[in-house]
């Protein structure tokens, strides 16, 4: 029988609201994020060390400006030379894999978690999570929201305020709600 964590990573409905193991882990991560977000912003070495301890995988150089929020941290992988501006939210109930040289603007949400349309399942606390992949050399503008299961190809630019609901290919500029390809690069 699968654990709720295993169900989440398989994209199946899982009990996010009542599973004691997941609830305890999220509480610990919230504490660690409280410490991170209160760390002196000038202490880059300490902030980097905290991120490396929290995230599943990182490159040597990464900056996530404070405040930062996530569910678990362990499901987030970022490549080399990663930069995210203030108010990044990553709901990492499933894998979030981000490539090298990625820039993320302020107030961006990367959401692997979703809720079923069936009201009875929602009331029970069930949800699903689908992985998100962001390629190398991607720039994500301010206020972008990325929904479960989306991939963004390498070298692409996502315009500010976009809602990314479908895969975006490599080497394009895409923007809008829903986000659509505007032109090739």
DSSP the chain: ---HHHHHHTT--EETTT-HHHHHHHHHHHHHHHHHHHS-TT-HHHHHHHHHHHSSB--S-EEEPSSEEES-STTEEE-SSEEE-SSEEEE-SS-EEE-SS-EE-SS-EEE-EE--SSHHHHHTTEEEE--EEE-TT-EE-TT-EE-TT-EE-TT-EE-TT-EE-S-B-SSEEEETTTTEEEEE-
pLDDT on residue 153: 98
Q: Which residues are catalytic?
A: 115
pLDDT on residue 178: 98
The domain total for the chain is 1
pLDDT on residue 26: 96
pLDDT on residue 170: 98
pLDDT on residue 109: 98
Nearest to 72 by CA among 39, 116, 34, 23: 23
Range of the domain at 129: 4-184
Give the pLDDT band of residue 94 (cuts 50, 70, 90). very high
Task: Report the predicted TM-score, pTM, of the whole model to 2 decimal places.
Answer: 0.96
pLDDT on residue 6: 96
The CATH number of whichever domain residue 73 belongs to comes to 2.160.10.10
Give the pLDDT band of residue 52 (cuts 50, 70, 90). very high
pLDDT on residue 47: 98
Give the pLDDT band of residue 99 (cuts 50, 70, 90). very high
pLDDT on residue 123: 92
Cβ partners under 8 Å of residue 33, min gap 6: 54, 67, 68, 69, 70
The mean pLDDT value of the chain amounts to 97
Average pLDDT over every residue of 37-41:
98
Of the listed ranges 15-19, 34-38, 60-64, 164-168, the one predicted with least confidence:
15-19
pLDDT tens per residue, range 115-168: 999 999 999 999 999 999 999 999 999 999 999 999 999 999 999 999 999 999
């Amino acid at each position: 029988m699968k654990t709720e964590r295993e169900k989440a990573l398989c994209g199946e409905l899982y009990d996010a609201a009542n599973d004691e193991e997941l609830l305890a882990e999220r509480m610990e991560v919230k504490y660690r994020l409280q410490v991170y977000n209160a760390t002196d912003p000038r202490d880059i070495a300490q902030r980097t060390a905290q991120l490396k301890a929290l995230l599943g995988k990182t490159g040597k150089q990464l900056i996530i400006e404070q405040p930062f929020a996530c569910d678990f941290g362990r499901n987030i992988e970022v490549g080399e030379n990663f930069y995210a501006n203030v108010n990044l939210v990553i709901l990492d109930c499933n894998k979030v894999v981000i490539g090298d040289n990625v820039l993320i603007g302020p107030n961006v949400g990367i959401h692997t978690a979703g809720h079923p349309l069936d009201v009875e399942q929602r009331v029970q606390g069930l949800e699903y999570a689908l992985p998100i992949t962001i390629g190398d050399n991607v720039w994500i503008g301010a206020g972008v929201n990325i929904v479960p299961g989306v991939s963004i190809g390498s070298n692409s630019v996502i315009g500010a305020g976009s809602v990314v609901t479908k895969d975006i290919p490599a080497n394009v500029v895409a923007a809008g709600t829903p986000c659509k390809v505007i032109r090739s690069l």
